[in-house]
Structure 1
Amino acid sequence: MSDPISADVAIIGAGPVGLFAVFECGMLKLSTVLIDALAEVGGQCAALYPEKPIYDIPAHPAIEAAILIENLERQIEPFTTPRLLGRIVTGIAGSAGDFTITTDHGDAIHAKTIIIAAGAGAFGPNRPPLDGLATFEATGAVQYYVKKREAFRNKRVVIAGGGDSAVDWAIALKDVAASVAVVHRRPKFRAAPEMADQLAQAAQRGEIDLVIPYQLHALHGTAGTLQTVEVADLDGKTRHLDADILLPFFGLAMDLGPIATWGLDLTHHHIAVTPSTLETSTRGIFAIGDVATYPGKLKLILQGFAEAAMAAHAIHPIVYPDTALHFEYSTSKGVPGS
């Protein structure tokens, strides 16, 4: 049990959006503390796909997730922010201006406001309903995340899914793997148009095999060693795809965990917020990033970054009720300590 920590803002979630919230709060002279259930900062970017290229970060045509986290870490260096990692928030008590947050490690954090940047909450993959799946998972023949591209060098890879992860990794692995096949139940992909175009072009060049319209049907191999992935079309016609590794990208199952018991208004396992401030139904508690929802919400990191700035500005009058906030651009005011 650590000594009590006091801060203007307690940020629950140390993924990219939570890290940027440290910067935005710091620019407004709001002290912060970071709390995260994982043992390191970075959220899904660090834990699940550090080498995944991200294409929609402004000024970065492509940037690996781990590098993005490193850059965000450098950006918040001027601000002294305690980090309570490997801790789950078990309770929140009090009201705006005087919250007490407790964790499973016995920590007590006193904060005037709270920002929840918990991403997908407690996340896990949506698994395909295939016989013998656990056996292939145990040997690594079926994987749900890509941490190192080199692990797939000269492997025959089958990717299942039609979203951003399936498309992005097909493109990223095509020059590393011995072969890449993408299984999807319809011709249209739910990915960024530019990346979908790149996938189509790679398929035309013979660099990627588009197996459409098919769905996963069965796995074949011995003692957890994958040999083929059987797929079936809507008429029941099947094909066998040679494979060493299957990557099913069917999204993450979201579980808010203890957040669901904090008395906040929820909409489909997300926290409902006021779009202009990102404040939840509880005064003084804000939510940003993937965990927050409102009409027109886009689940993009860049939108989460903007939400971090908006929440910080909405928090300022709560922390400093008698001080007017005179907005200045960072180009004119600089960064404290720089």
Structure 2
Amino acid sequence: MIQQIHTTDVAIVGAGPVGLFAVFELGMLKMRTAVIDVLDAIGGQCAALYPEKPIYDIPGYPKVMAYDLVEKLAEQAAPFDPSYYLGQRVERLERGSDGLWRLTTSSGATIQAKAVVIAGGVGAFGPNRPPLPGLEGYEASGAVQYMVPKPEVFRDKRLVIAGGGDSALDWALNLAPLARSVALVHRRAKFRAAPDSVARLQALTADPAKDVDLVVPYQLHGLEGDGRSLSAVVVRDLEGRERRLEADVLLPFYGLSMNLGPIAEWGLDLERSHIQVDPQSCATSVSGVFAIGDIATYPGKLKLILCGFSEAAMAAHAIHALVHPGEALHWEYSTTKGVPGDNLQGSAA
């Protein structure tokens, strides 16, 4: 059987917000795209880890929920008809004698393109799991979870949240109005979260009308239940003293375990597990391969979604010459050019 090869102009590795915006920027310059992501849905960390968490630093949106931002970016990319290859990882990146890049995925798909944009965020990622006996059974039943896709499922549940960073405190605050009770476990009294979040949490714990408990300095020690349904979480302090916290669900927020995966073998110049790029074009050390978003690094780099959006635009302009060699790039504002299927109502100044 002959293997099917999908041919496009640019292959984008990563379907997070920056990868989705790259579809738009490349499309505006008349370049077709294929997008590959290891997750089963678009949106990257925004969709997988905190879909209902508010984001405050997107221009034009004083506040936007992560999932809503992903939906808008997908809608913005849709007129350019990108091909999505989801639930599969790029295993190999090779350049053929014809100059085209060939990307082979874990599902056996092959995409060939004139340029490659790596928008893989932090690379392959997964939650840091607490070393507790019997953890797998509780994970399988949903009694232990590492993300909050829909807060409503935790209504009237007894929650134990573990961690001392922004994710742990944010979800303790957001879930407290829904849950029957919330206990936040952290190994020390000092938190690595926004001061405002810490103050709000302390106010909640001091309110006798709220069943919110701050359990410090303690660490997770064990799980009680039948192997699937959770009844309690056992915690222990440094002196060996134990507490038993009644619980239906444990939410450990210990950050992500991140690695570049196969990207590390592609011959790119790396710096501390990030890809070094030219800040003017986002070109990597390998001709025809670009990197944008959190995975890219250069002097003065800021890890902000809005900076990733800017990098997507710069990379698209640099890639144009590779996809359309010899063709002059006559730049037009989006307000005068429009997008496919759009009827212009005005013009740029």
Q: Which residue of the other structure, out of 205, 209, 214, is the alignment partner of 2:213?
A: 209
CA positional deviation for 1:222: 4.0
Tell me what 2:253 maps to: 249
Counterpart Cα distance in 1 of 2:313 and 2:197: 28
CA positional deviation for 1:235: 4.1
- Cα 1:216–1:15 change in 2 (3 A) is same
Tell me what 2:165 maps to: 163
Tell me what 2:129 maps to: 127
Encode CA deviations 1:148-168: one digit per residue, 9 max, x unaligned.
212211111111112232122
CA positional deviation for 1:44: 3.3
Classify the secondary structure of the residue corresponding to 2:167: helix
Encode CA deviations 1:197-228: one digit per residue, 9 max, x unaligned.
54444444464333233322333334443333
Counterpart Cα distance in 1 of 2:103 and 2:69: 29
After TM superposition, the structure 1 = structure 2 runs for residues 219-238 of structure 1, keeping only pairs within 5 Å, are 219-238=223-242
Tell me what 2:286 maps to: 282
Contact 1:53 1:168 in 2 (8 A): no
Asked if 1:308 corresponds to 2:309, the answer is: no
Tell me what 2:77 maps to: 76
TM (norm. structure 1) is 0.86
Counterpart Cα distance in 2 of 1:260 and 1:287: 13
Tell me what 2:32 maps to: 31
AA matched with 1:110: Q
**Relative to structure 2, which stretch is displaced further, 303-312 or 220-229?**
220-229
Q: Which residue of the other structure, out of 102, 105, 121, is the alignment partner of 1:103?
A: 105
Contact 1:167 1:191 in 2 (8 A): yes
Contact 2:6 2:110 in 1 (8 A): yes
Classify the secondary structure of the residue corresponding to 2:9: strand
Contact 2:89 2:106 in 1 (8 A): yes
TM (norm. structure 2) is 0.84
**Relative to structure 2, which stretch is displaced further, 319-328 or 20-29?**
319-328
Query: Where do 5+ consecutive residues of structure 2 fail to align?
Result: 343-349
AA matched with 1:122: A
Query: Where do 5+ consecutive residues of structure 1 fail to align?
Result: none
AA matched with 1:169: W
- Cα 1:122–1:251 change in 2 (3 A) is same
Tell me what 1:175 maps to: 177
**Relative to structure 2, which stretch is displaced further, 51-60 or 133-142?**
51-60
Q: Give the paired residue count.
A: 338
Contact 2:134 2:227 in 1 (8 A): no
Contact 2:48 2:147 in 1 (8 A): no
Counterpart Cα distance in 1 of 2:292 and 2:267: 17
Tell me what 1:64 maps to: 65
Counterpart Cα distance in 2 of 1:275 and 1:49: 29
Identity %: 60
CA positional deviation for 1:106: 4.0
- Cα 1:312–1:6 change in 2 (3 A) is same
Counterpart Cα distance in 1 of 2:340 and 2:290: 25
Counterpart Cα distance in 1 of 2:198 and 2:333: 36
CA positional deviation for 1:169: 1.4
Contact 1:121 1:255 in 2 (8 A): yes
Classify the secondary structure of the residue corresponding to 2:233: strand
- Cα 1:162–1:324 change in 2 (3 A) is farther
Contact 1:52 1:146 in 2 (8 A): no
Contact 1:156 1:177 in 2 (8 A): yes
Contact 1:97 1:284 in 2 (8 A): no
Contact 1:15 1:43 in 2 (8 A): yes
